[in-house]
Amino acid sequence: MKTIQSSFILLLSFVLLLPLGCKQNEIQPTQSCSTSSPAPHPKATSYQKVLNDYVRKGLPGISLLIRDEDGTWYGAAGMADIDKGIAMQPCHVSKAASITKIFIGALIMKLVEEGKMELDAPLSKYVAAKHLDNVANAKQVTLRQVLNHTSGIPDVIEQSSFYLAVLNNPGRFWTPEDLLKYVKGLDPVFELGTQLEYSNTNLLYAAMAIEGATGQDHARLLREKILDPLDLEDTYYHWHEGLPNFVAQGYFDLYNNHTIVNIANLNTGSGNGYGGIYSTVFDLQRFIEALLREKTLLKAQILQEMTRISAEDLPELEAYGVTIRKDFLDRPVNQYALGHRGRDLGYTADLFYFPNQDITMAYLINYGTDAESDLKAVFLDFRKAIVDEMMKE
């Protein structure tokens, strides 16, 4: 997966030295929350040690949930709000970033199940021509190709002009039309269907396709068909839905000097299909297990189509079905997982189900790893360390 350009980080560091006006922040100072202690688990001490170790190495806060044959363990370490001294807890809501994409993918598969959408239909069946004009490959691409990232459509998040607009108005709530103008007139990344290249624009178009197919707001349908049926009471789709007062702050080491800055309210397009879900590790577990373990969210044939890996870039260790990422491909072949990553400027998350081991893993970290910093390497070490611990006999 691509990371945010270094030029954007330099610009961001400059802009944060300037006053940002009197616009009220969406994420307010974090309040404390509480939850009951988990049941005894044989790996409780080792899991907690991993969290504590990587907070000591600089990650501000981590919440983690692991369910395996011995039960469900959850815990946390570090701070949800450094300025207010609020400790991170598993009940804190945090930004799940691109994990949003698998929620949107599940919604589309629900609509496929209902006969309202077709994966191999052209995107133009659902999205008006004016939104496809002058966007590379957009008039020829199928819905499946945007959902498995084989579209070759440029990524809005990669465009310097978009970064500048974000910096000019960090709290702006972006519309699809606002976002698409930043990819109009660009060359295709590759010939349609010939490669895999992750692009946030793909899921922007997916959200637009939902609305075109149904005539309804995709955020309302997400709530109606996915979030409410699963009782995900601590999951919010920002900016369409307000956020509670127990959202963790988000941080990044802008100057790479081991001093992290709060950038929780920087909005790079939340609520447009490619990002916007805020949740807890408990809700994330409930969602991924309903989808992939209990298999109650979708009918068997539809789920099989969603999880069928139809695009691979093995040198980059990437493989996708319909928004489902097959991950941990650098581990032994039987230790792969299905789910999605979440990487943002101020937040990081992973949500995965390991089918061969029947293990679910969800974690939320309030530090951004979508750009380079020393703490990104710390996070990557954490990612390996926690899965290593999970796989120990």
Strand partners, 62: 77, 365
Confidence (pLDDT) at 255: 84
Please, which residues bridge with residue 359 across strands? 354
Mean pLDDT over all residues of the chain? 94
Dist CA 296 CA 349 (whole Å)? 24
pLDDT tens track for 175-216: 999 999 999 999 999 999 999 999 999 999 999 999 999 999
- Give residue 302's identity as a one-letter amino acid code: I
* pLDDT for the residue 16: 55
**pLDDT value of residue 361:** 99
**What integer pLDDT is reported at residue 193 of this predicted model?**
97
Cα 326 to Cα 318: distance, rounded to the nearest angstrom: 7
Output the six-digit token pair for 315.
């040198």
Name residues of the chain where pLDDT drops below 50.
Answer: 1, 18-24
Which residue, 332, 330, 352, is CA-closest to 341?
352
Determine the pLDDT at residue 12: 62
pLDDT of residue 9: 63
pLDDT (0 to 100) of residue 312: 94
Q: Check if the beta carbon of residue 154 is closer than 8 Å to that of residue 175.
A: no
**Model pLDDT, residue 18:** 47
pLDDT at 3: 54
pLDDT in tens, 45-104: 999 999 999 999 999 999 999 999 999 999 999 999 999 999 999 999 999 999 999 999
Cα–Cα nearest to 151, from 211, 206, 210: 206
Give 83's contacts (C-beta < 8 A, 6+ positions apart): 29, 249, 262
